[in-house]
Amino acid sequence: MLHLVFCWHFHQPDYRDADGRYQLPWTYLHAMKDYADMAALLEAAPNLRCVVNFVPTLTAQLLDYSDQFATGELRDPLLASLIASDLYALPAAEKRQLVEQCFKVNHPTMLEPFPAYKRLYILWKTIAEDEESGLAYLSEQYLADLVTWYHLAWTGETVRRARPDVLAMIRKGEAFSPQDRRNLFDLYGEVIASLLPRYRAMAELGQIELSATPHSHPILPLLLDFQVAREARPDLELPQATAYPGGEKRARAHIDAALETHQVQFGQPPAGFWPAEGGVSDAAVRLLAKSGVKWIASGEAVLRHSLAAAGIDLSHKAHWCYTPYRLSGADTVLFFRDDHLSDLIGFEYKSWHGSDAARHFLHALDEVRRHANSPNPVVSIILDGENAWEYYPFNGFYFLSELFAALSDHASLRATTFSEYLELHPHSTAALPRLVAGSWVYGDFCTWMGDPAKNRGWDWLVAAKQAYDVAIATLPDELQREAEALLKSCESSDWFWWFGDYNPADAVASFDRVYRQKLKRLYQTLRVFPPNYLDSPLCQGGGAMEAGGVMRRGV
């Protein structure tokens, strides 16, 4: 029998600026398409068990969107545009921004299948280069139809199949009325408000296990010790700051906040964690173990580096990849992602026929079962629960529904959860002599540290933390809570993911702007004047800093 654990990681960066307004709409769009589809597909396969990992900052944003729908106090400008009555009156820059946003989809799967939506795109490309004179040709109805089509394209496949009114709007195709748009808006609100209760209900039935990530998605090993970034990459350039001040206390704050908010939202604390980006180190694992975390999952490359450092033969993957591990002196069990099988789903099967992909995946699992050198082998399939599906026809509906159905009653494959596996096989773990710190991305931390812009971001954060340490005790309780929330958000890994010159410029600029804005607000909350360097983009030669916060030119 081969045990199979799907772990679907649900995460969106906190797209809210320091004033609580959303700078990017991806949380509510992915909720409507991907989190809703996954819920429906799991509900349709009640015998299939899996893990769903909710990052607390995603949960908070889903609750915030539910509040927006309930109160009508909209803090997301794109969502507000769906029911706006004066789109034509928008200033030219905002109008262009709205139009460009409404074509940010994977065109082969989310635009081209809809002739009316595609026609809107062709019209836009015809006039787009004419700047304001071109925008003047876009009527109120064009803008209304465009924002409606964008939101129709982001409805999940299971939502469309369950809602004849959505299919009727797709067939209508154009001339959408204010009532059409209001109806679609209300549907979004209904679906998004239902998501957390649906996943909680499946967890209470025992079908799924809900796990968590430290609160604001920080890279725990880097909070604890910058030097661990060199365990997998000895030549990595580190920030000028030698360490993050009070890093262990900050790491504990994120762990404790995750345990608390998960308990409040889902009725019980999580037994396991997918640390942000699968980032682990010896110290991080032991800190999580002290907090009572029973299991942690990470990337295959971390295991590969760790076993290689211990002199273990890695020539036969089946001999080392399909068993969980324990570090000496730590009760927490480590599971490691199968990169090849996970990446088949994440990147390869999007171009396959759904039935062929499902059969191929089952065959690959059977090969693992036949060759795994373990009495109770377990395969960990871990990937984002949202980013792959827009590249699949029908949002991955046919692939996932056929795969889930086949696994639900498979004779030699048991779809389970990490906690259930440990209950069934408490002694099926191997000793891990040494853990080389790293993440699921290449087994290192280069995605978040090493690039000059990333390191500058860390140095700016260190300076803000030093100001926090000096001022926090002097503030009234309300400002202390506000400063703590802002600091948690600034410690997120998501900023550092985007910093650097190899990501799309518009995305880098958005994250750069919000990061600097949050740092500014943190200083202001601490009643400290924000440094002048926060007025210049971090990713465009904003200048490096000494660890104490003094600017140094020319870097």
> How would you classify residue 311: left for phi > 0, otherwise alpha for psi between -120 and 50, otherwise beta?
left
CA angle at residue 514 from 510 to 519, to 5 degrees?
A: 150
Give the DSSP letter string of 131-143.
HHHHHTT--HHHH
Stretch (H or E) spanning 250: helix 247-266
pLDDT at residue 541, rounded to an integer:
45
Which tokens belong to 332?
């927490």
* Partners of 210 in the β-ladder: 52
C-alpha–C-alpha distance, residues 56 and 541, integer Å: 33
| Neighbouring C-alpha atoms within 13 Å toward the C-beta of 428 | 20
Whole-Å CA distances, 79 to 114, 160, 498, 522: 21, 19, 24, 27
Q: What is the pLDDT of residue 504?
A: 82
- Are the beta carbons of 6 and 341 closer than 8 angstroms? no
CB 455 within 8 A of CB 237: yes
List per-residue pLDDT tens for the chain, 555 residues long: 999 999 999 999 999 988 999 999 999 999 999 999 999 999 999 999 999 999 999 999 999 999 999 999 999 999 999 999 999 999 999 999 999 999 999 999 999 999 999 999 999 999 887 767 778 889 999 999 999 999 999 999 999 999 999 999 999 999 999 999 999 999 999 999 999 999 999 999 999 999 999 999 999 999 999 999 999 999 999 999 999 999 999 999 999 999 999 999 999 999 999 999 999 999 999 999 999 999 999 999 999 999 999 999 999 999 999 999 999 889 999 999 999 999 999 999 999 999 999 999 999 999 999 998 888 999 999 999 999 999 999 999 999 999 999 999 899 999 999 999 999 999 999 999 999 999 999 999 999 999 999 999 999 999 999 999 999 999 999 999 999 999 999 999 999 999 987 778 888 998 999 999 999 999 999 999 999 999 999 987 433 333 333 222 122
Q: Which residue has the tokens 């909350």?
A: 525
Residue 285 near residue 296, CB atoms below 8 Å: yes
Taking the CA atoms of residue 543, residue 544, residue 546 and residue 547 in that order, the dihedral angle to the nearest 10 degrees is 130
What distance in Å separates the CA atoms of residue 209 and residue 183, rounded to the nearest whole number? 34
H or E segment and range at residue 295:
strand 295-298
Furthest-apart CA pair in the chain: how many Å? 71
Closest by Cα among 188, 184, 258 to 220: 258
Question: pTM for this one?
Answer: 0.94
Counting Cα atoms < 13 Å in the Cβ hemisphere of 246 gives 17
Tokens of 149: 């089509």
Token code pair at residue 333: 């069990």
Q: Is the distance from CB of 454 to CB of 496 less than 8 angstroms?
A: yes
- Cα angle at 495 between 15 and 542, to 5 degrees? 120
Q: Token pair for residue 384?
A: 């984002």
498: left (phi over 0), alpha (psi -120 to 50) or beta: alpha
Spacing of C-alpha 88 from chain mean position:
34
Task: Let me know: does 187 contact 148? Beta carbons within 8 Å.
Answer: no
Report phi then psi at 2, rounded to 5. Answer: -105, 125
Give the residue among 102, 11, 51, 110 at the shortest CA–CA distance from 395: 110
Helix (H, G, I), strand (E, B) or coil at 187: helix
Q: Give yes or no for a contact between 496 and 223, defined as CB atoms under 8 angstroms apart.
A: no
pLDDT of residue 18: 87
Torsion sign, CA atoms 409, 410, 412, 417 = negative
Measured in residues, the chain has a length of 555
How far, in Å, are 17, 229, 264, 415 from residue 23 at the CA level? 7, 31, 27, 38
How far is residue 72's CA from residue 53's CA, in Å, rounded to a whole number?
A: 29
Round to whole Å and give the CA distance between 450 and 442: 14
pLDDT of residue 539: 86
Tell me the per-residue pLDDT of 197-216, one tens digit each, with 9 for 90 and over: 999 999 999 999 999 999 99
Residues contacting residue 303 through CB under 8 Å, at least 6 positions apart: 320, 321, 325, 334, 336, 432
Spans of all domains in the chain: 17-47+57-203, 452-552
Rounded Cα distance, 354 and 401, in Å: 9
Q: Which residue has the tokens 């190899």?
A: 502
Q: Which residues of 131-154 are buried (b: 16+ CB within 10 A; e: fewer)?
A: eeebbeebeeebbbbbbbbbbbbb
The span from the CA of 433 to the CA of 227, in Å, is 20
CA angle 240, 244, 250 (to 5 degrees): 165
